[in-house]
Structure 1
Amino acid sequence: MRTTNHLIGILNFLTFLLSIPILGGGIWLSTRANNTDCIRFLQWPIIVIGVAIMIVSLAGFAGACYRNTFLMYLYLWAMFIIIIVLIGFIIFAYVVTDKGSGRNVPNRAYKDYYLPDYSGWLKDRVASDEYWRKISSCVHDSGVCRKSGRVVGGYPESAEMYYLRKLSSIESGCCKPPSECEFAYVNETTWNPVNTGLVNNRDCIRWSNDQEQLCYSCNSCKAGVLASLRKSWRKVSIINIVVLIILVIVWVVACAAFRNNRRMDNDEPYGQTRMEKARPARIQF
């Protein structure tokens, strides 16, 4: 029985360790939200799940150490609910970030981003005027466009050098006009219009050389934010899937160990009764 309790304690310690990468992923998403992604609500479910696993694991560990059946029973049910919630959240994350990617541009190392390439609940939320005002303000305050400038040999980089850069989705969508606008390059955040009337893209009109505006009101900027968010969430989802598989294995083994523990507890009185019956009767004089 002690071996079983030790096994359950080890499994709970393992689940406690597994909560760390989940919690770390939520914190990483939170830093991304503060710096570039600017979506501040999606990281909280991950943080809550990580904290919940940590607390439940500690309760299960205490139950195993002190042979508290109620705590162990509570641990197994709570962990089962957490696994179901984690599965649902992984599915949700993949559904809301399922579609959308950058389009290759001829003779350019970077990609352009278009809002119609995305769909679903997340796109509608990001593209809404009320919510986009907060996001665009966050992108502006992050200074991502201001930091995109480079100096080579004491001079700003040329157009040819800029075209060979692999820009982030936000740099491409928010800090420059779409390539199809065919604006003339001056520097990373200054472009002069040439043939705007020949292109059916309203972002060409929305672009401004005013460093406070740039393309923050463009659909390409919204698409760039969605692309950045999709990339971040796919990285965290991979970690969550690995942790989920390990959690399921640990939970199944813990269930088997707990069932074995209860069986041994139920068999103990029966075993004592048989031994008492096997003892020879005392002879009284």
Structure 2
Amino acid sequence: MGVSNNMTSVLNFIAFMCSIPIIAAGIWLASKADSECTHYFRWPVVILGTLVLLVSLAGFVGAYWNKQGLLAFYLFCMAMLIGLLLIVLVFAFVVTRDDGSRSVPGREYREYRLDGYSSWLRDHVTDPENWVKIKACLAESDVCTKLAQDYVTADQYFAAHISPLQSGCCKPPAICGYSYANPILWLNPTDPTADPDCYLWSNDQTQLCYNCSSCKAGLLGNLRREWRKANVILIVALVVLIWVYLIACSAFRNAHTQELFGRHK
């Protein structure tokens, strides 16, 4: 096996290692309650990471056993995957660029409004047909019930950094003036006309604020926060994959040049 093939084997091992954090980031995203309930966002990163893993293995086999056809296939497929990963990153940055959060006086958590998010993401989530399914999924999850287990007093709750999803779906908006009984039980609003969501709040544990606009905005806030964290891993992986790919292309070209000159000696 030539020097170029040795180098390509090492590079493909690095690419193989890059696929692991991509898959891990995808699994982490898919495990979140908001992603579980918005199926379109669950598996793209996992699938992309798995394809990078398989293509890297193909490149390693091609380099180790000097299969030039397999190496050419690897280079073509890896270019496509790098392009897809770049598209996913750009798309994620565009649709999660805006932030619909606002601070609440006397509270550590924030509240969320729909008009702060990208129109594409907002329209997808708030589409009535989609939201019926998302709402039912959220109601079956432990997103809100966990709050009642974690916080007892109002002071504990108001000082907590709860997630956007919990802020939007598990309580009424602060402007309504509901009195705290526990994190998922609120009574006697002082200003029920302050926000349309004030009327939509229900102490029925299967309803809560799942019909509220704030719940939809909270779900968008969760998606934004989680994708922003995952993007850091994906950017690092993309930079390494591009670096590996460029060196692999150079090594592949050098191997062909050496083979060509060897034939003419």
Q: TM-score range by the shorter chain?
A: over 0.9
Distance 2:66 2:156 in 1: 68
Structure 1: runs of 5+ lacking an equivalent: 272-285
Relative to 1, partners in 2 of residues 1:269 and 1:158: Cα closer, same or farther, differing over 3 Å? Answer: closer
Q: How many residues align?
A: 264
- Runs of 4 or more consecutive aligned structure 1 residues displaced over 6 Å after TM superposition: none
Deviation at 1:106, TM superposition (A): 0.7
Letter of the structure 2 residue corresponding to residue 44 of structure 1: W
- Aligned residue in 2 for 1:245: 239
- Distance in structure 2 (CA, Å) of the matches to 1:238 and 1:101: 21
The residue aligned with 2:169 is 174
Question: Is the contact made by 1:174 and 1:221 (CA closer than 8 Å) also made in structure 2?
Answer: yes
Kept in 2, the 8 Å contact 1:26–1:43? The answer is yes
Task: Report the counterpart of residue 67 of structure 1 in structure 2.
Answer: 66
CA drift of 1:193 comes to 2.8
Q: How does 1:10-159 map to 2 (within 5 A)?
A: 10-32=10-32, 35-37=33-35, 38-150=37-149, 157-159=152-154
1:193 pairs, out of 185, 188, 202, with 188
The partner residue of 2:254 within 254, 260, 269 is 260
Deviation at 1:197, TM superposition (A): 4.4
Asked whether the 8 Å contact 2:27–2:46 carries over to 1, the reply is: yes
1:150 deviation in Å? Answer: 4.3
Inter-partner Cα distance in structure 2 for 1:120 and 1:36: 18
Determine if contact 1:113/1:223 at 8 Å carries over to the other structure: yes
- Find the counterpart in structure 2 of residue 280 from structure 1: none
Report the alpha carbon displacement of residue 239 of structure 1 after superposing the two structures with TM: 0.7
- For residue 123 of structure 1, report the CA deviation from its aligned partner: 0.9
CA distance in 1, matches of 2:97, 2:148: 32
Identity rate, percent = 41
- Tell me which residue corresponds to 2:205: 211
2:230 alignment counterpart: 236
Please give the TM-score of this superposition, normalised by the length of structure 2. Answer: 0.94
- Tell me if 1:163 matches 2:158: yes
State the shift of 1:147 in Å: 1.6
SS in 2 for 1:149: helix
Contact 2:100 2:114 in 1 (8 A): no
User: Does the Cα contact within 8 Å between 1:100 and 1:227 map onto a contact in 2?
Assistant: yes
- Counterparts of 2:161 and 2:27, CA distance in 1: 27
Offset at 1:251? 0.5
Q: Deviations over 1:189-227 (max 9, x none)?
A: 11113333441x110000111111110100001111111
Whole-Å Cα distance in 2 between the matches of residues 116 and 263 of structure 1? Answer: 58
Specify the structure having the higher radius of gyration (Cα): 1
Paired letter, 1:177: P
- TM-score, structure 1 normalization: 0.88
SS at match of 2:39: coil
Alpha carbons 2:175, 2:191 under 8 Å: kept: no
Q: Which moved more, 1:21-30 or 1:211-220?
A: 21-30
**Distance in 2 of aligned mates of 1:150 and 1:237:** 31
Confirm or deny: 8 A CA contact 2:176 2:192 kept in the other structure: no
User: 1:3 corresponds to which letter in structure 2?
Assistant: V
